[in-house]
Amino acid sequence: MTEPVLFLHGVSGSAATYQWLELEDRRTVRVDFRGHGDAPRRPGTYRLPDYVDDALAVLEELGRAAVVGHSLGGVTAWTLAQQRPDLVTRLFLEDPPLYMGDPVEHERNPGIPAFRDQQAAVRAWQARGATEAEIEAELDCRDLQTPEALAARAHALRRLDPEVLDRVVDGSLLAAADPTSPVEVPVLILAADDAFDAAFPTRHEAQLARTHPDVRVVRFAGAPHTIHDTTAFRDAYAAQLRAWL
């Protein structure tokens, strides 16, 4: 039987970010992490081990699966493969910030100012009761992302627990990430362009090659962190995923 595929979204996203993607010959499961989308808010539990628990609960019911993860979802998938290799068959990771939990790397992370801005915007939108349409109209990525991606983004931001972004900004979200321990399953990483504030920049690719030489990395020139949501790269993302599976 063909293995199912578990999709794990990034921080401040939701399962809706993958609604456009159909894998005709696979059972697909899309998860909302705690504090995101339609999942309940659980203040005080927005760190990597908590998200690993969310994904593990699904896998224990689903069985062995390929895991696709964007950003936070990618680090969660990586950690799952380290902790429960019996449940993970292969990994497809989109610009995963595997090293950003390190305090020095967190200080260098070029994405943190944008997360601070997003944090302020989310609190303001939710305080005034903004609709998804109003949020979508204010997004600053409207010229880059597909209409489906923009709608999914507005859906996620309207529902996001703002405390999630506190953990991003203070550096505790990914503090437990372990980029060096073994991952025994096949791994493909799609990486963003360094010029677009990649969460898995080329310096991290070089570090990973020293401990995990079998991990394959495909870097998309001109691509931002949200490769799968970007109009210019969505087809290439889907082609890479289907080929990998």
- What band does 1 get if pLDDT is binned at 50, 70 and 90? low
Mean pLDDT along residues 164-189: 98
Task: Pull the structure tokens for residue 120.
Answer: 């302020």
Distance CA(143)–CA(3), nearest Å, equals 36
Distance CA(68)–CA(241), nearest Å, equals 9
**Who contacts 147 (Cβ-Cβ below 8 Å, separation ≥6)?**
none
Q: What class has domain 5-244?
A: alpha beta
* Residue-wise pLDDT tens digits, 59-86: 999 999 999 999 999 999 999 999 999 9
Q: Is 165 helix (H, G, I), strand (E, B) or coil?
A: helix
Check if the beta carbon of residue 237 is closer than 8 Å to that of residue 227.
yes
**This prediction's pTM:** 0.97
Locate all alpha helices (DSSP H) within the chain, ordered by sequence.
48-62, 72-83, 103-108, 112-128, 132-138, 147-159, 163-169, 202-211, 234-244
